[in-house]
């Protein structure tokens, strides 16, 4: 059983929703990433999405765009990101997925990527600009290593596409709560629950909800009907205020703990 499968099984037994924070690797440098990863684990994260920065993040709002730019001011390498995963593996078995855009993965070489990702101890991929239609090569490489590929579903997805994604996805499916880019929003889109119900008619995988989720009350609401809740930009917004300050881990840790508590 994969780490991700295990996670959802054990959370179900505890009647908890998975809390999934996102941070961009290397933002603003790897020393901070190392601290933040530890901080996320220590404060209740159930799974971590580790962002692989890209020069042209088409599906991201301003917060993650800026985070990516900051990260890319340092030399970029996927190997350095995998080193961060290895460091987490020294103290935790938390599932980790790499979240990014197709081109940096593609240039690395998809087969070599899957081998090295597996070897680092990470668990899978979420590639924003890779719909199932373009996933053949990546999926073959990931399957060969037993890694999961998380696919997105959107409010615009048709039944036919939900079916297609259900056939290709593993780990969990990620429902994008809004037609829009990533970024903290003040309120959640209305009536997310019917979407989750619809997705469940196509797939038995756990359903996570992200994009726009920024507050404990959002997390609490989503926990009422989904299996996982993903928060990215809101965490980066807290973190970036404390970059270079001694209270970085305290501030992020407190926010993450508050979000996780809302899933219980």
Partner 1 sequence: MSYPDEKGTFDGYGGKYVSETLMPALTELEEAYNRYKDDPDFKEELNYYLKEFVGRPNPLYYAERLSEKLGIKVYLKREDLNHTGAHKINNTVGQILLARRMGKTRIIAETGAGQHGVATATVAARFGLECEIFMGAEDVKRQAPNVFRMKLLGAKVTPVHSGSQTLKDAMNEAMRDWITYVRTTFYIIGSVAGPHPYPMLVRDLQRIIGDEARQQVLEKEGRLPDLIVACVGGGSNAIGLFYPFLDDTDVRIVGVEAAGHGLDKGPHSAPLAAGTPGVLHGARSYLMQDPEGQILPAHSIAPGLDYPGVGPEHCYLKDTGRVTYTTATDEEALEAFKELSRMEGIIPALESSHALAYVLREAASIQKDSVVVINLSGRGDKDIHIAAQEIGIDL
Active-site residue numbers? 49, 60
Looking only at residues 105 through 134 of this chain, which bind partner 1 when binding is defined by CB under 8 A?
A: 105-108, 128-131, 133-134
| Min dist. Cβ of residue 42 to partner 1 (A) | 31
Residue 76 binds partner 1, judged by CB under 8 A: yes
Q: Which residue's CB is nearer to partner 1, number 108 or number 225?
A: 108
Say how far apart CA 143 and CA 104 lie, in whole Å: 20
Looking only at residues 217 through 256 of this chain, which bind partner 1 when binding is defined by CB under 8 A?
A: none
| Min dist. Cβ of residue 53 to partner 1 (A) | 8
DSSP 76: P
Please tell me the number of Cα atoms within 13 Å of 157 on its side-chain side: 26
Looking only at residues 17 through 56 of this chain, which bind partner 1 when binding is defined by CB under 8 A?
A: 54-56
Which residues, 6 or more positions from 61, have their beta carbon under 8 angstroms from its beta carbon?
180, 181, 182, 183, 233
Count of residues near partner 1 by CB under 8 A: 44
Among the listed ranges 21-29, 71-79, 194-202, 233-241, the one in contact with partner 1 (CB under 8 A) is: 71-79
Print burial letters for 197-212: b (CB count within 10 Å at least 16), e (below 16).
Answer: eebbebbebbbbbbbb
CB contact at 8 A, 209 and 178? no
**Burial classification of residue 87, based on how many CB atoms lie within 10 Å of its CB (0-12 exposed, 13-18 middle, 19 or more buried):** middle
Q: Which residue's CB is nearer to partner 1, number 103 or number 119?
A: 103
The residues that touch partner 1, with contacts defined as CB under 8 A, are 54-62, 65, 69, 72, 76-78, 101-108, 128-131, 133-134, 151-158, 161, 165, 176, 178-181
């Amino acid at each position: 059983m994969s780490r991700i499968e295990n996670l959802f099984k054990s959370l179900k037994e505890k009647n908890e929703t998975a809390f999934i924070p996102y941070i961009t690797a290397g933002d603003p440098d790897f020393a901070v990433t190392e601290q933040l990863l530890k901080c996320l684990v220590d404060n209740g994260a159930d799974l971590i999405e580790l962002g692989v920065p890209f020069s042209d993040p088409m599906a991201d709002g301003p917060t993650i765009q800026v985070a990516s730019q900051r990260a890319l001011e340092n030399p970029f390498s996927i190997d350095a990101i995998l080193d961060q995963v290895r460091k987490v593996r020294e103290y935790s078995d938390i599932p980790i997925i790499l979240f990014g855009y197709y081109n940096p993965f593609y240039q690395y070489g998809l087969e070599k990527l899957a081998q090295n990702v597996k070897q680092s101890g990470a668990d899978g991929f979420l590639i924003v600009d890779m719909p199932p239609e373009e996933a053949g090569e990546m999926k073959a490489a990931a399957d060969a290593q037993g890694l999961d590929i998380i696919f997105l579903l959107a409010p615009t997805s048709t039944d036919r596409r939900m079916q297609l994604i259900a056939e290709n996805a593993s780990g969990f499916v990620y429902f994008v709560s809004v037609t829009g880019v990533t970024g903290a929003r003040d309120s959640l889109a209305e009536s997310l629950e019917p979407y989750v119900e619809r997705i469940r008619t196509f797939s038995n995988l756990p359903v996570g909800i992200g994009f726009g989720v920024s507050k404990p009350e959002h997390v609490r609401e989503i926990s009422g009907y989904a299996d996982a809740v993903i928060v990215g930009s809101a965490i980066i917004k807290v973190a970036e205020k404390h970059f270079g300050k001694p209270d970085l881990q305290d501030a992020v840790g407190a926010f993450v703990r508050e979000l996780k508590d809302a899933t219980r």
